[in-house]
Structure 1
Amino acid sequence: MSERPITHLRHVDIAVPDYDKQVAFYSQKWGLAEVGRDSGVTYFAAVGSPEQYIVRVRRAPEKRLDLVAFGAADRQAVDGLAARLASDGVRLVNEPGSLQTPGGGYGFRFFDVEGRTIEVSTEVEDRAHRRVEEREDVPVRLSHVVLNSPEPEKMLAWYDKHLSFRLSDTLVHPHLGGLMWFMRCNPQHHSLAVARCPHPALHHISFELRGIDEYMRGSGRLMRDGIPKIWGPGRHLAGDNTFTYFHDPNGNTMEYTTALEVIDEDTWHPSLHDTSRPEVADQWGTANPMNEFVSKQMFNDPDKGLFAAPPV
């Protein structure tokens, strides 16, 4: 088993009350491909990704984050992680076994320190996918997920200790202290980030496009279509990636991005980025200002699914 049990981010699953509008949003506006549907659950893939699906939408009375799923190298990594988590008192939802979701595989689920359901799996069958062509403004893959937390330092320590995520950079404010922590499980600058917030919730899900031109075309298409834009287009300093944030029909924040930094982990040292400097939020200076309005739009509603595993 490798020292780092997690290899990459697989998919992020949400539950929403306005299910039909969410499904239509992903397939007709966001540029994802519907690859399966069953009893109020729809699976969406990115056409350029080998992952069976990168987002799952479930019909539910209340909005919640159902699941964040990560990949592991092999069964030994999965079994070893499950044994270590159990011995450390982490609550397992189930023991490692065969998965019943598209693509099968072998994995298990558990709760993180704030009660979100996390899945780790291996041997999931690759999906037939294709090259995303020049000027094709649809997501290539899932980039990262950001979680809101009232105790982000505790979250940071938990993901470091139990899943071996490493800190890449931190956003700080001279008067407010730490605001966001970027964490990695591979050489990509971040697959997971934790943002300071009054309550646990989904901050945003980020989708990577082919390149700058495709990212701008996609951002413009969504703005023309009247999808509510929160912030962007711009380019962050931490991670060096582009950003445009939108609200989906259920009030979750979704991001188009590209060009996320790939780092040399042997030489990388985390930096503190002062958010009072405008170039930290947006190197280009093209986005609307990062202010209290933008921050509150990403606070989202308090998560209703803590320490309650989804039914599927």
Structure 2
Amino acid sequence: MDERLITHLRHVDLAVPDFDKQLDFYTSTWGLSPETTDDGIAFLAAEGSPEQYSVRLRRAPEKRLDLIAFGAASPADVDALAARLGTAGVRLVTEPGSLRTPGGGYGFRFFDNDGRTVEVSSDVAVRAHRRVEEGESIPVKLSHVVINAPNPEATVAFYEKHLHFALSDTLASPHMGSVMWFLRTNRYHHSLAVARGPHVSLHHASFEMRGIDEYMRGTGRLLRAGVEKVWGPGRHMAGNNTFSYFLDPHGNTVEYTTELEELDEDTWHPHLYDLSEPEVADQWGTANPMSEFVAKQSFNDPDRGVFVAPPV
């Protein structure tokens, strides 16, 4: 029963008080397409992705991370994972069943050790998507999600033990010890990462661009639009991916990236990278230095939704 049943990252769902401002940012500025919208809820797709949506926005009195959704290969795998988690004492939010979100499918939800809601699903209808063209500075797909945890060692252990994520690399600093763990569920370096933070919250959500040119064009487009840049542009050591971090209207950090490393899982050995070496944070040396300001922006506000399942 120790095989990996999660195949990939599907979407990240956010609740926000100023729904209209957030919706305008993610569509007009960030470059997602409003695939399905209703009063107070919107499902936003990345043009190059077969996923029905990459971001869901929901109007709510308080800002929170509603859920992180992952895919599985079949209903049998969904059932097996739900049974495995239930037997291990993990609290299920819903039992496996038909999903009522765009694309349907079969899935269930549970709370992780920090109280985040996580969904796993299979058989979601494939969205009619397209190849993003040369020069188009819009996201191809959701690349990865990074979460803050006050006890990150326990959170990493949860995802390794129960969901069989594998550790790709770890970042450490001389005075803080280990501060970020990169976890994979397929050949990509990470689809989830856990950062040491003062409270449970979203650290950032990252979106893959077509290539370096499109990534730089997107970075410049946001700068010209006056969107607050947190960090970048640069290229990380762990994952070897490019990065430009910005703040959405509600203070969530969102990233444009490209060229996230693909690993040979049979031969890969995790590195422990020292963040006091400048090239670890940014191989290029083009980004503003990692500072307390940069770190604090990514701490985000304490998530008020822990161990409270979203209504939809």
**Which bracket does the TM-score occupy, shorter chain normalised?**
over 0.9
The 8 Å contact of residues 15 and 59 in structure 1, kept in 2 or not, is answered as yes
How far apart are the structure 1 equivalents of 2:144 and 2:4?
18
Query: Residues 4-42 of structure 1: CA distance to partner in whole angstroms, max 9, x if unpaired?
Result: 110000000000011110000011000000011123101
In the alignment, which residue of structure 2 is the partner of 1:200? 200
Aligned to 1:266: 266
Q: TM-score, normalised by structure 2?
A: 0.99
Taking the aligned partners of 2:149 and 2:31, their CA distance within structure 1 comes to 29
2:9–2:144 CA contact under 8 A, matched in 1: yes
Structure 2's unaligned 5+ residue stretches are none
**Match of 1:251?**
251
CA-to-aligned-CA distance 1:227-268 (integer Å, 9 cap, x gap):
000000000000000000000000100000000000000000
Contact 1:11 1:55 in 2 (8 A): yes
CA distance in structure 2 between the partners assigned to 1:20 and 1:110 by the alignment: 29
Please give the alpha-carbon distance, in whole angstroms, between the structure 2 residues aligned to 1:10 and 1:129.
15
Q: Contact conserved, 1:236 with 1:282, CA < 8 A, in 2? A: yes
Give the counterpart letter for 1:137 in structure 2: S
SS of the aligned residue for 1:178 comes to strand
Tell me the CA shift for residue 76 of structure 1: 1.0
Deviation at 1:99, TM superposition (A): 0.2
Task: Return the alpha-carbon distance in structure 2 between the equivalents of residues 281 and 33 of structure 1.
Answer: 31
Partner of 1:152: 152
Identity %: 70
**What residue number does 1:15 align with?**
15
Q: 1:31–1:139: 8 Å Cα contact kept in structure 2?
A: yes
1-structure distance, mates of 2:199, 2:100: 32
Partner of 2:67: 67
Instruction: Report the residue type matching 1:102 in the other structure.
Output: P
For the residue of structure 2 that corresponds to 1:93, the secondary structure is strand
Tell me, in whole angstroms, the C-alpha distance in 2 between the residues paired with 1:95 and 1:299: 32
Contact 1:42 1:58 in 2 (8 A): yes
Q: Post-superposition, which runs of at least 4 consecutive aligned residues in structure 1 deviate over 4 A?
A: none
How big is the shift at 1:2?
A: 8.7
Residue number in structure 1 paired with 2:116: 116
What's the CA shift for 1:174? 1.3
- Alpha carbons 1:231, 1:246 under 8 Å: kept: yes
Contact 2:32/2:46 (CA < 8 Å) preserved in 1? yes
TM-score (norm 1): 0.99
Report what 2:184 is aligned to. 184
CA distance in 2, matches of 1:2, 1:106: 22
Match of 2:54 in 1: 54
In structure 1, what is the equivalent of residue 303 of structure 2? 303
Report if the CA contact (8 A) 2:235-2:241 is conserved.
yes
In the TM superposition, what are the counterparts of 1:101-112 in structure 2 within 5 Å? 101-112=101-112
RMSD: 0.8
SS of the residue corresponding to residue 213 of structure 2 reads helix
Instruction: For 2:38 and 2:78, locate their aligned partners in 1 and report how far apart those are by CA, in whole Å.
Output: 27
Tell me the distance in 1 between the aligned counterparts of 2:19 and 2:61: 10
CA contact (8 A) 1:2 1:77 kept: no
Give secondary structure in 1 for the equivalent of 2:183. Answer: strand
The one-letter amino acid paired with 2:144 is H
2:219 equivalent in structure 1: 219
Contact in 1 for aligned 2:2/2:164 (Cα 8 Å): no
Cα contact 1:156–1:181 (8 A) shared by 2: yes
Cα offset, 1:159, TM superposition: 0.2
Report the Cα distance in structure 1 between the residues aligned to 2:94 and 2:182, rounded to whole angstroms: 28
* Aligned twin of 2:90: 90
Whole-Å Cα distance in 2 between the matches of residues 260 and 167 of structure 1?
A: 15
